[in-house]
Chain A
Amino acid sequence: MRVLRSWLRDFVPLELPVDELVAVLDDLGLAVESVERVGEGLEGVVVARVLELGPIAGADRIQRVVVDAGDTEPVQVVCGAWNFAEGDLVPLATVGTVLPGGMEIGARTMKGVESRGMLCAADELGLPGGHDEIVVLPAGAAPPGTPFAEAAGAGPDVVLDLEVNANRPDAMSMAGVARDLAARLGLPFTLRRPELAPPGPVEAASVAIDAPDLCRRFVATVIAGVRVGPSPAWLADRLARAGMRPINNVVDASNYVMLELGQPTHPYDAARLGGRGFRVRRAHAGETLVTLDGVERALDGDLLICDAEDGAIGIAGIMGGASTEIDEHTTEVVLEAAWFDPLAISRSARRLKLRTEASARFEKGCDWAAIDPAVARFVELLSGGDQLSVGPGTDAGGGLPERAPVRVRTARVNQLLGTELTDVDIAGYLGPIGFTTLSTPAPGVLEVALPTWRLDSATEIDVVEEVARLHGYRAVPKTVPRSPLTGALTRYQRDRRLVRHILAGAGADEAWSTTFLAAADLERCGLEVAEAVVVANPLVAEESRLRTSLLPGLVGSVAGNARHRITGVSLFEVGHTFRRPPDGQQLPDEREMVAVATAGADAREAVTQWHLLADGLVLGDWQLEACAAPGLHPTRTARIVVEGEPVGMVGEVDPGVLARFDVDERVAWVELDLERLLACPHGPGTYRPISRYPSSDIDLAFEVDDATPAGAIERTLAGAGAGLVSGVRMFDVYRGDQVAEGRRSLAWTVRLQAPDRTLTDDEVGVVRRRLIAAVEENHGARLRG
């Protein structure tokens, strides 16, 4: 909302410096987004009448102009524009003027012709408009020599761009902002109410309302004797500075009233209506309307304004139709001023993706009591000096919403704000913004009326906010409540940090990949597209699916680094993945995962990383089970199973997937379901005494089938030693001439140790035989000699 300081001053005698004004507005919750000073630097610009035009020898782009600038002597200037004629009133920047753009006007001679000043285009004066044409004032606007700013209403001003929240319908108008300022600054607020003249001999317009739930009030006023033309300069200038393009005196008056009072109105050309009247109804299925902006819009249950013959002429509260637009032939105007249901307008504007100045106000909730003043003000502005005939206004509607007074408890106010206000303080804050205290039914209880311009306010808490706002949030003493709880992370949160630190310690950098993917990304990674949750309204196709795995993001990031010739990167990520839920469940199957992608390394690196994690988390019993998984290397992938529970995958990314990402390194891969992993027993346990007796090492080499996992044999070795095995370490894998085809030799050093004695050679021998027997029996292995 662009607010002009001069316009505010129509209602409140504001004297404070701009920076203080900005601070006050901020503190009232009307955040000032920008401050613009306009119309400065026009002191040396005066109105001049063109007396004579003439060519300049040898120059066809400039001409000689003689003007009367109000002095005894005419002034001669050289000008490069041709859009004016003898007798026109134009702005002349006199010698010595510094224009808003910084240009200094001096006396010059061009092609032998002396130029003592410059005729100005709009942009040179800092006004809206172009550079090609000299500004031409309406005939008789002001006598030559009048300061231009005075004649054009374009004096210096300050434009404040306010961010208006959804709960401040009142602040969508100059008068509303002025009311708030007056209340805070303790200044008088004066809202002049023009009187409508008694109805003239003009036939009224009929109004029929088929949707009384959505249209609570509709006033149609017929105004005859209208002459369409440009608005007075001061009015057009205010509109332009407030950000609205001046169009003609009728449309401009409507817009001006909206900016001033917050009530949108819509003028129709009476002659172009089908029948002299209106019908307000919901749109039929399939109905369309060409709006003022020339766009044909498909309607669907939106509230429509129709003429008496039921032809659609506007979308209520949003935009009028093109067919009844005011133009230069209009002589009779019907003005619509109405109150529509805010939610209905909000819904339509959202569905049509059409937000207008009108809809922005209606959806916040307009002031139905402002309808009559708005109509009167419109007529006043439009009439100017002319005599207009105004018919009787037709006032119809579905009845206005109830606005019961609210009981406000002083104790409640103080308890919520941490203040020590009295009944009198509270009534004092509320009165000037229209929350009038009607009575005090009991000490400490105020019965407060709610103003019609604050439809957002309905309950006690809304009034408490107004008290806080006017008292000043920053005037509330600051206190810190003491938490009676022990602040702490949950075990899961601590362990998740540990996982991150282990992986960083292992050399992986933490990545953040987007949650969104295109269906093609999933396909590229060999992942099932049908499992992915679909985003209903993505801005781009790349955001149409939620990731089912961290793989596309991390492999994509490996590829991204490779494109910068950075190879061998190791990246990890902790993030959520999503899958379509089972039937009957609304929310997706959402899991917190951790994954590591290490380029230039194979599955062995991934297994090592898993070992680091398992060791760091002090995980109990776990094993790897070879398996196949989408997107992963078919012969180099294993499922991680902890205490019988699958918690993730370890291995390598499928080379086919990598090829599709143009990654020409191997990529080691670990992906874990963090919640499942951390639900497994883990963490430091009870102390196991360390043996102080000597240990004995025995080396065992077995020939086994390639299909037999080394891990399985290792588990047998660890478990079959009658509690005397204290360590098992593989030291050799051999394939070749010495073993049969399809088999390999695996060799371990097994360390034996008892907690309470030195093992004898006999005991070591017994354990050795038991280990050999167990491995040979369970794994089809044969001890090598």
Chain B
Amino acid sequence: MTAGDVSGLVSDALERIAGAGDPAAVRSLEAELLGRRSQLATLRSGLGALAPEARKEAGRELNAARARLEEALAARRAEVDEAERRSRLEAERLDLTEVVPTRRRGHLHLVTQARDRLEDVFVGMGYTVAEGPEAETDWYNFEALNFPADHPARAMYDTLYLELGAPESTLLRTHTSPVQVRVMEATQPPIYSVMPGRCYRQDTADASHLPNFHQIEGLVVDRHITLGDLAGTLDAFTEAYFGPGFRSRLRPSYFPFTEPSAEFDITCVFCKGDGCRTCGRTGWLELGGCGMVHPNVFRAVGYDPETWSGFAFGFGIDRMVIMRHGIDDLRELVSNDVRFLRQF
């Protein structure tokens, strides 16, 4: 055995290692070059025949050769493993823009979204949320609210009656106000409550009317509640719901169940109060009605109007929604066309 034999073997083996193309080739080369039947093994087994000095020298040489080959094999193995991993991942390459979603999330109706937000604003102000039936008696919808029979103010509400009980004794509530009466009958003051829900009028559906629509009503009954409290509460609500800079204002009006009664306007959502076509250049948009609870309403539910005072306010959710989202026809809200529903 000569030094030349070993170095020739090594250079030959290194060349083969460099040429190994995949992990399997590296594995079989390893067996061939370092295994029991490898040339190195054969040479090692021949060491015994050498003189001690030469054996020592040759042994060192063989160990060095083996180390070089092991190192080269490990390096090559890492290379081909990496190459193979890359090619496997390359084969998995996916154009994520070609994905078609197989599931979709549904959308809450705009009116629900608005109602939830309104409820949340008032809950934040310490109010509870009360509800009541949509089919009502004349008592809750009118009589207890200080609308005596034949009162001309009843004509303000185009009431739909139901064929239940005596004629015109049962109806579809024309406003959420019957819930005020139900809440006051069921509890004692203080009351801080809002009452959202569906209401009905005998109306032909058009761009600005629907025979069924949604309102939210507020009722506060406590000691020493004032008209100033009503104005301030509406202001606080307006700012919380519409955002900073939005204000409200009152204009005298008439409702049988409140006195003094008022309409309330809010800063125009389109021009922020500068005046535009939608608000008739006034900078204000009419939102709803309100007022101080009429003493007769308190009497109807057994509250002493000298002890308690309160205010109530109400407005249409649907109209507010179409105003806010620039929808020009209320009927879109009931179209149930998913091209509408999925926009919001």
Query: Does A571 touch B at the CB level, under 8 Å?
Result: yes
Knowing A533-B162, A587-B164 are in contact, say whether A480-B233 is a contact too (CB < 8 A): yes
Knowing A487-B123, A504-B108, A509-B341 are in contact, say whether A469-B167 is a contact too (CB < 8 A): no
Contacts of B135 in A (CB 8 A): 533, 546, 578, 587-588, 590
Q: Are A557 and B336 in contact (CB under 8 A)?
A: yes
Q: Are B251 and A509 in contact (CB under 8 A)?
A: no
Query: Does A343 touch B at the CB level, under 8 Å?
Result: yes
Query: Does A514 touch B at the CB level, under 8 Å?
Result: yes
Contacts of B128 in A (CB 8 A): 485, 487-490
Query: Does B333 touch A at the CB level, under 8 Å?
Result: yes
Q: Are A29 and B253 in contact (CB under 8 A)?
A: yes
Q: Are B211 and A511 in contact (CB under 8 A)?
A: no
Query: Does B302 touch A at the CB level, under 8 Å?
Result: no
Query: Does A690 touch B at the CB level, under 8 Å?
Result: no
Contacts of A478 in B (CB 8 A): 228, 231-232, 235
Query: Does B236 touch A at the CB level, under 8 Å?
Result: yes
Q: Are A489 and B123 in contact (CB under 8 A)?
A: yes
Most buried by B among A350, A462, A535, A557: A535
Query: Does B217 touch A at the CB level, under 8 Å?
Result: no
Stretch at the interface among B3-11, B19-27, B83-91, B219-227: B219-227
- Min CB distance A382 to B, Å, is 31
Contacts of B111 in A (CB 8 A): 512
Contacts of B129 in A (CB 8 A): 489-490, 493
A587 and B153 CA atoms in complex are apart in Å by: 24
Q: Are A29 and B252 in contact (CB under 8 A)?
A: yes
- Min CB distance A556 to B, Å, is 8
Q: Are B112 and A510 in contact (CB under 8 A)?
A: yes
- Min CB distance B3 to A, Å, is 61
Stretch at the interface among A164-172, A289-297, A695-703, A711-719: A164-172
Q: Are A564 and B339 in contact (CB under 8 A)?
A: yes
Residue of B nearest to A165 (CB): B254
Contacts of B167 in A (CB 8 A): 536
Q: Are B108 and A500 in contact (CB under 8 A)?
A: yes
Q: Are B226 and A479 in contact (CB under 8 A)?
A: yes
Q: Are A561 and B337 in contact (CB under 8 A)?
A: yes
Contacts of A286 in B (CB 8 A): none
Q: Are B263 and A31 in contact (CB under 8 A)?
A: yes
Q: Are A31 and B251 in contact (CB under 8 A)?
A: yes
Query: Does B142 touch A at the CB level, under 8 Å?
Result: no
Contact indicator per residue, chain B 323-344, by CB within 8 Å of chain A (1) or not (0)? 0000000000111111101100
Contact of B259 among A465, A483, A534, A540 (CB under 8 A): A465
Contact of A513 among B203, B228, B336 (CB under 8 A): B336
Residue of A nearest to B305 (CB): A461
Number of contact residues on A: which range applies? 35 or more
Contact of B211 among A479, A504, A539 (CB under 8 A): A539
- Min CB distance B337 to A, Å, is 6
Contacts of A546 in B (CB 8 A): 135, 162, 172
Query: Does A505 touch B at the CB level, under 8 Å?
Result: yes
Contact of B106 among A343, A507, A516, A543 (CB under 8 A): A507
Knowing A514-B212, A535-B163, A586-B164 are in contact, say whether A347-B150 is a contact too (CB < 8 A): yes
Query: Does B176 touch A at the CB level, under 8 Å?
Result: no
Q: Are B151 and A343 in contact (CB under 8 A)?
A: yes
Query: Does B124 touch A at the CB level, under 8 Å?
Result: yes
A63-93 with Cβ < 8 A to chain B: none
A511 and B109 CA atoms in complex are apart in Å by: 6
Query: Does A415 touch B at the CB level, under 8 Å?
Result: yes
A515 and B124 CA atoms in complex are apart in Å by: 32
Contact indicator per residue, chain A 500-533, by CB within 8 Å of chain B (1) or not (0)? 1101111111111111100000000000000001
Q: Are A510 and B106 in contact (CB under 8 A)?
A: yes
Query: Does A27 touch B at the CB level, under 8 Å?
Result: yes
Contact of A417 among B116, B133, B134, B228 (CB under 8 A): B228
Contacts of B153 in A (CB 8 A): 166
Contact of B249 among A31, A474, A477, A483 (CB under 8 A): A474
- Min CB distance A376 to B, Å, is 29
B233-283 with Cβ < 8 A to chain A: 233, 235-236, 249-254, 259-263
Most buried by B among A350, A501, A503, A536: A536
Most buried by A among B124, B204, B222, B254: B254
- Min CB distance A203 to B, Å, is 38
Q: Are B160 and A537 in contact (CB under 8 A)?
A: yes
Contact of A481 among B169, B220, B260 (CB under 8 A): B220
Residue of A nearest to B311 (CB): A481
Query: Does B107 touch A at the CB level, under 8 Å?
Result: yes
Contacts of A364 in B (CB 8 A): 152
Query: Does B52 touch A at the CB level, under 8 Å?
Result: no
A578 and B220 CA atoms in complex are apart in Å by: 31
Q: Are A560 and B337 in contact (CB under 8 A)?
A: yes
List the 6 closest A-B pairs by CB distance, nearest first.
Answer: A483-B126, A29-B252, A418-B228, A418-B226, A165-B254, A557-B336
Other A-B contacts than A507-B103, A512-B109, A515-B198, 8 sampled, CB-CB below 8 A, are: A165-B253, A490-B128, A512-B111, A513-B334, A576-B198, A580-B164, A588-B135, A588-B164
A–B Cβ pairs within 8 angstroms, 20 of them: A29-B254, A350-B155, A465-B259, A474-B249, A476-B228, A478-B232, A488-B128, A490-B128, A493-B119, A493-B129, A509-B106, A512-B109, A512-B111, A512-B333, A512-B334, A516-B212, A534-B163, A576-B198, A586-B137, A590-B133
Spell out A's residues near B (CB within 8 Å). Answer: 26-29, 31, 165-168, 342-343, 346-347, 350, 363-364, 415-419, 459, 461-462, 464-465, 468-469, 473-474, 476-490, 493, 497, 500-501, 503-516, 533-540, 543, 546, 553, 557, 560-561, 564, 566, 569-572, 574-576, 578, 580-581, 586-588, 590
